Chains A and B, each alone.
Chain A
Amino acid sequence: MAGTVLENLSSRKLFALGGVLLVVQIVFFMIGGLIAPSPTSPIRYIASKCVDRGHHKSKWFVPWGPKDQVCEKVQDFDEATRKHIGANDIVFAAHIPLPNREMVRWFQFLLMIMELDVAFKVDNPVAENAVVTMEAGLAYRDDRLAEWTPVARSTEERKLVCNFSHSKTADNEGRYYDCDMVPLFELGSCFHKYYLINIRLPVREKQNINLNIGDIKDVNLIGIHQNGGFTKVWLSVKTTLTPTIIIILVWYWRRVTQLNRKPVLLEKTIFALGLSMAFINLPLELITIAVDVPWMLLLSDIRQGIFYCMLLSFWIIFTGEHLMDQSERNRLSVYWRQVGAITFGCLCMFIFDMCERGVQLTNPFYSIWVTETGKNLALAFIILAGVCASIYFFFLCFMVFKVFRNISGKRASLPTMSDVRRLHYEGLIYRFKFLMLFTLLCAATTVIFFIISQVNEGHWKWGEEHTVEINSAFLTGVYGMWNVYVFSVICLYAPSHKRKGLEGQQSSNIQLERETSEDGSNEEIELRLTNSQASGDAGELSVIYKIAGKEAQE
């Protein structure tokens, strides 16, 4: 790939393009920070304690609502003890959402976390490796008067990890343990208006089930969903980005096919990168408004995974193709180690995701982290992926180092080279350094904003009226930034056919590479020299490879 748009662009135009993209980037941050609400909302629910004297396993217990639907409740378990109600008669019931509200399809997902309030009692402590066994049920309805339709029923085990920060004396009875939260369920779509959770904690003395779990006072649930406003802003951003990327991609591919040679590896890689970006941009989530698609969460994970995989591959191939004294190039097989590591790492994450979110499609209460083997398996996959990532970054750093060593080597011999070769190498060095800088900038911005969003409380007050949602700004900003990144890589690294005149260029809306005779810095004149001296795209390329090969032999 010789003679890309980037080299043939005057610095003025390059700065103009950079300025425009910077403005676009700032707009992305502003959209997230000023228009969108925070990405997610947590809602606290305290489960009501319904009484089920007859052990009706199939009945649903509703904590509030019309009088004839509401279950018989007890305020606390002292009352239950007085009324001779046992642990097996208690059903914890929570209705989602709270009164006078309903869930909306824009909420996209519903994640439920459980926290147990366990009081300390000297003679009834929480055992060391206590496990809570619960019979959990989830149901939905779309009408306040309709019957509940079950989504899932399952018997689940959750580890009860509790600390008691005070001394374990009689004085401190009644204080609560500090118990870790446990995941309860995750729904990949929030399609219905009302949900109902019923949880039983059955006691089976013979099987030693639910015996040493302390004195449970309350079941707290925290429901997390994506804010409707955020979904709307997010999907609007995606909807506007999709055609932009697709148009530039079409333009790019036309450019590549117009050449009198087959596309080289780097060109194919850039195209694939653009495709994966376009895939991630497609606002497929809009389907969830009309159809119940619980696997959308999984799909968006997969889409993200494909993009990461593509981006990492692009970096390695780009660096590899700029190793100037390596004769073996332009074939994917050369990079099998690196690309293999990436693919394997992504595959590990995919399998892990399938194990968690995939299984949750059938049983939302499922969590891989609960059982010992599942936890080890999940950790194994994550560690494997981590190892792959480290191997990859080692390779990448090594290759970048090699390229820089080459560059400094070439620098020394540049003045002695013939014009064609010198300009070729200068072009290579320029292209490489530009992408390096650009990539580092994007990565650094991502990391900085990630840290800011982690450290801050979620939103900044700005004057009296305005609040800046840091988390939303981070999400839309970083998302927009990688779009800008891919966009500029596609249009700057597209093959330039400046010397070919106007043919075939009318269709493209971005004719950045066309230069008028008026603006001419020294650099441009030099660059133009290359173009006029080089015979043609195909010929030029082979010449370069020959030269590079020769160099390597020397």
Chain B
Amino acid sequence: MKLVCTFWVVLFLWLAVAPMERVHAVIGRWWGIASTVAVQEHANMVPGVPRKGSAIMLDPKKHPLNKKQRRLVRRNPGTLESIGTGAMLAIKECQHQFSNRRWNCPVDTNDHVNSVFGNILKRGCRETAFIYAVMSAAVAHEVGRNCAEGTIESCSCDYRSKGPAGEDWEWGGCSDNVEFGKEFAKQFVDAGEKTKDSVRYLVNMHNNEAGRVAVAENLRRECKCHGMSGSCTLKTCWMRLPNFRDVGDSLKEKFDGASKVAVPDIGNNRGSRAKVTGLVPKNSRHKYPTDNDLVYHERSPNFCRNNPRLGFEGTRGRECNVTSRGLDGCDLLCCGRGYATRQEVTKERCNCTFQWCCQVKCEECVRTKTIHTCL
């Protein structure tokens, strides 16, 4: 397995060598945009992300986008901001969904070279699948959102049925912006993948699609009756964009039910079916993954100890929950190494009065908390 993996990595790197682009920057490099565009404004929202504001767009060597992606962004002014905020949204969502697990979606925005998530992306495990899906979902979501805000001017207006040419908007209105978001995300995110025909390529493409599908799945249909005197003789329906948390939830569910896949062997009689997706389940008794399933091709490491190759620091020092028997419980989270307990006096906000935005008036309460951390 290891040998195969190394082989792929080597092949991957070899294929990825391109002028102006660093060798190992290929994997999801555009995610680095999160550390450039968005960080300037958002850094302090994401815990553990050091504030770093550099005008990377000006430096082509450090440019996180490849040629095709740059062209796309140039053609669709305004999308760069969406991608930036989308990447931040995805990171936040990933950290929220995985806050109780050993791997808690650590990011390092200083790491422009390797995209923000570190070397986990070089693996093909479940966590990688989630990252790909959530990133692509976030781009689709944010682009759709910014279309509705009017900040992206090129949002398409493809009309469903035929009218006099050139007057589509006047004749029959426009399709929803969510479609444009999905289509843009497909072109942009999938352009980040280079080495075609490898397992990793197919798996990543599949997970990208699964992320976009998750956005579409969570759209909610809403209708309004506005006929004569408010009756339902005239009814108009539209799709409401979901809260990204709902998308994250459904992706997390898919993470739990992700299927392990492989590229079929040549001559295998299951290959005919696999031509459609290019992937077959590893366990022949399992069903073929559908468009909205997450897939992976490598087992996840246990994420217990510091793993420099993975760039993951392990669970040492993580807070755990003594009473929980789940993944966030001290037994599982600390991988049986045990935990330390200490008392901490903290100042907390309490008795707050809120306004709908921006202003919170609170008192400060002192509370003693018992904190358990993994050894």
Q: Do A and B bind each other?
A: yes
> What does the 1/0 interface line of A73-105 toward B look like (CB < 8 Å)?
001011111100111001000110011110010
Contact A64 B150 (CB under 8 A): yes
Residues of chain A within 8 A (CB-CB) of B276 are none
Interface size on A, residues (CB 8 A): 80
Contact A38 B355 (CB under 8 A): no
A164 within 8 A of B: no
Contact B235 A95 (CB under 8 A): no
Contact A210 B161 (CB under 8 A): no
Given contacts A86-B355, A86-B359, A229-B172, is CB(A40)–CB(B234) below 8 Å?
yes
Residues of chain B within 8 A (CB-CB) of A459 are 160-161
A37 within 8 A of B: yes
Contact A101 B169 (CB under 8 A): yes
Given contacts A81-B358, A349-B229, A459-B160, is CB(A224)–CB(B224) below 8 Å?
yes
Residues of chain B within 8 A (CB-CB) of A276 are none
Complex interface residues of chain B between 202 and 246 (CB less than 8 A to chain A): 222, 224, 226, 228-230, 232-238, 240-241, 243, 245-246
CA gap between A229 and B169 in the complex, in Å: 9
Complex interface residues of chain B between 233 and 284 (CB less than 8 A to chain A): 233-238, 240-241, 243, 245-246
Contact A99 B44 (CB under 8 A): no
Q: Report which of B172, B230, B238, B354 forms a contact with A37, defined as CB distance below 8 A.
A: B172
A143 within 8 A of B: no
Q: Report which of B85, B233, B355 forms a contact with A87, defined as CB distance below 8 A.
A: B355
CA gap between A37 and B172 in the complex, in Å: 5
CA gap between A467 and B175 in the complex, in Å: 15
Residues of chain B within 8 A (CB-CB) of A301 are 228-229
Contact A44 B150 (CB under 8 A): no
Contact A101 B150 (CB under 8 A): no
Residues of chain B within 8 A (CB-CB) of A450 are 233
CA gap between A85 and B42 in the complex, in Å: 16
Residues of chain A within 8 A (CB-CB) of B359 are 81, 86-87, 203
Residues of chain B within 8 A (CB-CB) of A454 are 232, 235
Q: Which residue of A lies closest to B169 (CB)?
A: A101
Given contacts A63-B149, A95-B150, is CB(A227)–CB(B41) below 8 Å?
no
Given contacts A106-B170, A113-B224, A450-B233, is CB(A201)–CB(B358) below 8 Å?
no
Q: Which residue of B lies closest to A300 (CB)?
A: B228
CA gap between A453 and B233 in the complex, in Å: 9
Contact B354 A121 (CB under 8 A): yes
CA gap between A111 and B225 in the complex, in Å: 11
Residues of chain B within 8 A (CB-CB) of A41 are 172-174, 236
Contact B238 A42 (CB under 8 A): yes
Q: Which residue of B lies closest to A353 (CB)?
A: B229
Given contacts A44-B241, A454-B235, is CB(A87)–CB(B161) below 8 Å?
no
Given contacts A46-B148, A46-B149, A98-B150, is CB(A458)–CB(B237) below 8 Å?
yes
Contact A37 B171 (CB under 8 A): yes
CA gap between A224 and B235 in the complex, in Å: 10
Contact B240 A220 (CB under 8 A): yes
Contact B238 A222 (CB under 8 A): yes
Q: Report which of A78, A210, A222 forms a contact with B355, defined as CB distance below 8 A.
A: A210
Given contacts A216-B356, A467-B160, is CB(A227)–CB(B171) below 8 Å?
yes
Residues of chain A within 8 A (CB-CB) of B172 are 37-38, 41, 227-230
A174 within 8 A of B: yes
Q: Which residue of B lies closest to A177 (CB)?
A: B243
CA gap between A495 and B151 in the complex, in Å: 67
B145 within 8 A of A: yes
Q: Which residue of A lies closest to B245 (CB)?
A: A175
B155 within 8 A of A: yes
B147 within 8 A of A: yes
Q: In the assembled complex, how far is the CB of residue A184 from the closest CB belonging to chain B, in whole angstroms?
A: 11
CA gap between A104 and B173 in the complex, in Å: 11
B352 within 8 A of A: yes
Residues of chain A within 8 A (CB-CB) of B173 are 37-38, 40-43, 225, 227
Q: In the assembled complex, how far is the CB of residue B175 from the closest CB belonging to chain A, in whole angstroms?
A: 10
Q: In the assembled complex, how far is the CB of residue B191 from the closest CB belonging to chain A, in whole angstroms?
A: 24
Residues of chain A within 8 A (CB-CB) of B365 are none
Residues of chain B within 8 A (CB-CB) of A46 are 145, 148-149
Contact A229 B163 (CB under 8 A): yes
A45 within 8 A of B: yes
CA gap between A466 and B222 in the complex, in Å: 25
> What does the 1/0 interface line of A424-447 toward B look like (CB < 8 Å)?
000000000000000000000000
Q: In the assembled complex, how far is the CB of residue B89 from the closest CB belonging to chain A, in whole angstroms?
A: 10
A48 within 8 A of B: yes
Contact B357 A100 (CB under 8 A): no
Residues of chain A within 8 A (CB-CB) of B170 are 104, 106, 228-229
Complex interface residues of chain A between 468 and 491 (CB less than 8 A to chain B): 469, 471, 475
Q: In the assembled complex, how far is the CB of residue A32 from the closest CB belonging to chain B, in whole angstroms?
A: 12
A352 within 8 A of B: yes
> What does the 1/0 interface line of B147-166 toward A look like (CB < 8 Å)?
11111110101011111000
CA gap between A222 and B226 in the complex, in Å: 13
A213 within 8 A of B: yes
B177 within 8 A of A: yes
Residues of chain A within 8 A (CB-CB) of B153 are 99-100
Q: In the assembled complex, how far is the CB of residue B130 from the closest CB belonging to chain A, in whole angstroms?
A: 19
A181 within 8 A of B: yes
A274 within 8 A of B: no
Q: Report which of B226, B241, B357 forms a contact with A80, defined as CB distance below 8 A.
A: B357
B190 within 8 A of A: no
CA gap between A215 and B357 in the complex, in Å: 6
Q: Report which of B145, B147, B171, B356 forms a contact with A228, defined as CB distance below 8 A.
A: B171
Q: Which residue of A lies closest to B359 (CB)?
A: A86
B20 within 8 A of A: no
B291 within 8 A of A: no
CA gap between A318 and B236 in the complex, in Å: 37
A115 within 8 A of B: yes
Residues of chain B within 8 A (CB-CB) of A220 are 148, 240
Complex interface residues of chain B between 63 and 121 (CB less than 8 A to chain A): 85, 96
Q: In the assembled complex, how far is the CB of residue B216 from the closest CB belonging to chain A, in whole angstroms?
A: 15
B183 within 8 A of A: no
CA gap between A42 and B150 in the complex, in Å: 15
CA gap between A356 and B226 in the complex, in Å: 13
Residues of chain B within 8 A (CB-CB) of A214 are 356
Contact A86 B358 (CB under 8 A): yes
Q: In the assembled complex, how far is the CB of residue A281 from the closest CB belonging to chain B, in whole angstroms?
A: 16
B193 within 8 A of A: no
A123 within 8 A of B: yes
Contact B171 A42 (CB under 8 A): no
CA gap between A253 and B148 in the complex, in Å: 56
Contact A45 B238 (CB under 8 A): no
Residues of B in contact with A (beta carbons under 8 Å apart): 41-42, 44-45, 85, 96, 145, 147-153, 155, 157, 159-163, 167, 169-174, 176-177, 222, 224, 226, 228-230, 232-238, 240-241, 243, 245-246, 352-359
A and B contact pairs by CB, cutoff 8 A, 8 listed: A37-B172, A41-B174, A44-B241, A80-B358, A201-B356, A228-B171, A450-B233, A454-B232
Query: Can you list the 6 inter-chain pairs with the closest CB atoms, starting with the nearest?
Result: A41-B173, A37-B172, A229-B171, A124-B354, A42-B238, A99-B153
Other than the given A44-B176, A124-B352, A467-B160, 19 more pairs (CB < 8 A) read A38-B173, A39-B234, A40-B234, A42-B236, A42-B237, A44-B241, A45-B148, A46-B149, A63-B149, A75-B85, A80-B358, A87-B356, A115-B240, A175-B245, A201-B357, A210-B355, A220-B148, A229-B163, A229-B172
